[in-house]
Every structure is written in C-alpha cells, then in structure tokens.
Structure 1
Amino acid sequence: MTKRDWVMKSTIAVMLSTSLLMGGQVGQAAAYSQDSGKSERIVSLTKSLVGKDYKFGAEGPSRFGSAGLATYVYNQAGVKISDTISKLYQGGTKVSRTNVKAGDLVFFSSNGKGSPSFMGVYVGNDQFIYSSQGESKVVVKKYSAYEKKFLGARRYLSETSNSNTTKPNTSTAATKLANQVIKNGEKYLKTPYKFGSSKTTTKTFDCSSFTQRVFKEAGIELPRDSRQQSTVGKTVSLKNLKKGDLVFMKASPTAKSDRITHVAIYAGDGKILHTYGSPGVTYSTFFNTNWERRVVKVQRVIPE
C-alpha cells in the first residue's frame, strides 16, 4: 500500500465513523425529546385527575382503581401498559427508590414486604399520586413519607439520553424561545379581553392578537387572525405537545364544524396561556377539560 492509498483509506474511515456517530446522536436526541414529551404529558394528566373518585378496577375517565390510574394516563400519552398492579410490577425497568424520575410507577405495601397492594405515578418534587381506596379518591402524597412502605419502582418510558449525549443546540434554542414567549405573555396577565382588538394596542387583546403580540416580542411574526395563524409552522399531534406550541380550537366540544374560533399557547405543566371573556389574559388547565376537547389542530411555529 502506497502512502497515498493509506491516507485516502484513513480519511474515508474517519469520515464514516464521524457520520455514524452523528447519526446515532441525532437519533438519540430525537428519542429523548419524544420520551421527555410523553413524561410531561403523563405527569400533567395525572395531576389533573387529583380528586377523582376511587373504584376498584376502574380505568377512568372519572373513576380509577390503583392500577387503572397509571394505565389511563399512559394510554392517553400513547404508551400501552398492563392493567393490573402485579403485571405492572413485573414489567418495565427496575429503578431504585432514590433514582425515580417523573412518570415512573412506584409500588407499595402496608409493611414494605411481599407483593404490592397499591401503586402510583411519581410526579417529581418528592410527590406521587395514586387512587386511594381508603380515601376513596385520587390523592397526592409525599413520596419520602412512604419510604417504609416502598417495594419498588418501574420505568416504562425508554431512556435515550446519557452523560455522553446532549440535546442539539437547536433544541436548547427552541426551549429558550418558548420560555421567552411564555414570559412575554405573563406580563399581560389580567389584561382585558376585547373581540377584534387592534394589533397595535396592549390595553386589550382578543385571542389571536394576544398570540401575535407575544410571539412578535420573541421575534416570530404571525398573521393577525387565528385561522391564518393555524397555517403557519408545522402541524404536530396532541400527544407530542410542547411548550410554545399554538393550540387551535373550535367553538365547543360538540360543534360539528371544525371551524377555528380560538387559539391558545401551550405553557407546559398541563396549562395553556390565552385570553377570553371576563378573566382576560389567564392560565387555564388544559388536559381533560373542554379546552382539550375543543382542539382542532396544534401548530409548532418555534423553529426546532
């Protein structure tokens, strides 16, 4: 082999290795984003069900058994899991008590031994939520307070990120921009609603002049009308909803026409930021409400 041949062969090998490495990182980053979104949706859905009635074996949407609560919220997030405590305890990936993450399933018994008798969804901040037979409803509990009753935890959402994998800069920039949009909107909280409000004023807003204003302040131009805004950006599924996405709605959950009459900004943590009626600019709970049931489409206008 000549020196020239050796150099060419080595160069090709390096290029191939780099290409494979970059391809792997892109795939990992995409999977991370998808599972992160599912985890957020599961947590938001679970929080929205606090106070719902307990019923043995029930899987929602108004009453839940211990396993049924987890089955329901995972199903709503597009993840199929088993429907009994024993099967759920046997499946997934084992996680230690101190390494649980939001969205993990946690299992308990009265004395911390034997088979699990009840279970819940860990939602972060040292809290888990479960459907309690004793309290006859879905409740929030302090996770650390149940240490002596803890049997195990299971993770059903795949992990694709690790210490050697980082999200691409575009994702970081998109998150930063989404946070800026929400921050822009928050400064107008309680600003009165006025249908047909001028795009040049910040003393009143209607739904689309509000979204136009806060996105413009973040450097993104949108049309004035909500139906025109619904044609901008990329259409995404509701289960892949991210902070900063625009959510477009029809007149009511039962309306036969999908004609868009309202637009809101998904603000994360199961909330939308928008304006309507007497509250004016406000936050509203989104999942499992009439707001969600009115959704026609979701548009992602923040570049990824």
Structure 2
Amino acid sequence: MTKRDWVMKSTVAVILSTSLLMGGQVGQASAATTSYTQQTKEVATIAKSLLGKPYKYQASGPNQFGSANLATYVYKQVGVKIGSTLGSLYKAGTKVTKNSVKAGDLVFFSSNGSGSPTFMGIYIGNDQYVYSSQGDGKVVLKSFSDYSKKFVGARRILDESSSNSNSSNSSSKPATDIASQVIKHGEKYMGTPYKYGSSKDTTKTFDCSSFTQRVFKEVGITLPRDSRQQSTVGKTVSKKDLQVGDLIFMKASVNSSSDRITHVAIYAGNGKILHTYGSPGVTYSKFDGTNWEKRVVKIKRVI
C-alpha cells in the first residue's frame, strides 16, 4: 500500500466514524450540499447553452429571450418556479451582497448604477454572468467585475440548506406573495376619488391606470402610465387562467365595435376585480358574468 492510498483510507475512516458519532449528520449535510451544488451547476450549464439566442423584449423562450424571462426559463428547467419580471425577481429569494454572489444567483444592474434595475442576468461563477442583452441583440456572456459600477443587487433563489424539492417549494412563493401584496396595497386606497387624467404623482385621486401603476410600483413593478401602454407588457393569459394580480383590460362598452382599451382593473380572486371608476372611486366589483367581464379585450400577467 502506497502512502497516498493509506492517507485516503485513513481519511475515509475518520469521516465515517465522525458521521456515526454524530448520528449521520455529516452524511445528511453532505447530501443537502450536493443537491444545492448540483442545481447551481445545472443552472449555469443551461444558461451557457442559451448563448447566442436572439434577444426579444419579454420573449419567454426557448428560441428568444427577454432580460428577466431568461432567468425564468432557466430555473423552470431545474424545477424551480420564479417570477417573469425584473420587479418580481428583484424581490425573490434572499438578498446577497456583491462580494457574496455564487453560481446560480440572479444579478441586477442599472444603466446609471443606482435605483431600480434595468437589466439582469444569471451569475455562473468565475466572474461571469449570462444575460439576454438588448444592446447585443442576443444572449451573451459578460464579465461581472466589468459591470460592478452598474450593479444594484443580487438575489439567491436556491436554498443552500435544502434539498431540490424544498428549494422548488420555497421559490414558488414569490409570485403569489407579490400578488397578495398588490391587492393589499390597492385596498388601502379604497374610496379614493376617481379623476380622469389624474397625476401619477398623487394618491389623493386616481384614474384606472394611475391606480394600477401606483399599486404595482409599491411592490417594485414598473408599469407604463396609461392602460393601452400597460396592455403591451407582461404575458397574455386567457380568462380561464386568471390569477390574482393579473391586469384585465376592457373596451368602452359591451356593444362597442372597437376593441380600443379604455379601462384596466386588477383581478382580486373569487370572481372580483379591484379598480377605480366614476363615483365609487377605488372599489371592488363583481367580475364573473357581469358587463365588466363581457368588455374584456386582453388579460396580462406582469408578476
């Protein structure tokens, strides 16, 4: 037996003995670490495999990707559900510092290096991150340190102390939590008067789109100012797939021959919408089977 073989055998013996003395805790910790490490490797590998794919605003893959949608797609491939917008992902998981980023973490940047993020990527280790770049027109690999002045935050989606299934469960919560926050923030404005063309800078009055813009802004999601612009962002969903927090866009009346959007509301669940109009101001209205439902032109999911 060579000296190297003897050292290896002795090391294994010590590890096994320690594991038995600790009731198998070493083995359990090792399994959890392996699961976390394996997931981060899978995330990095999948992200790198998408290099060169064309950039397209809010495209969700597999052949084209928006900035946030790239992360959504990659994590879905490893069984982890996360949001699909910059705002929701910037609140997902656990906050980590710039000096603590690890493979698999989501990294966020701003063009001017401060404020809310304007683009994001997936850190894959070795001072590199992958992101779908509008400027480059495709998914690219960049040096993380080269973008340090534009860095505004990082979030860890994967849980180092949990198994794969536990990570998936814990990471499926953010979108639902954010939707609940949207409704909670909206409810605090109940009864606030309606005013057409109300300023986006006031909470004393709202029109339908300044209300939705304000409520989503308070949970970190930026929307355009008017309802027609808001209808161009997010993912289109059908009425049968409605979820709390979805934006519902409507035309002027049931009998209108034009599908021109004139109103927006937030789906609040249980067949109700939260919105503002006319004399009630911010209020809940029944949606299912009503004229509100019959006026629907489009439904978008931005969470």
- Sort the TM-score into its range (normalised by shorter chain): 0.3 to 0.5
Q: What TM-score does the superposition give when structure 2 sets the normalisation length?
A: 0.45
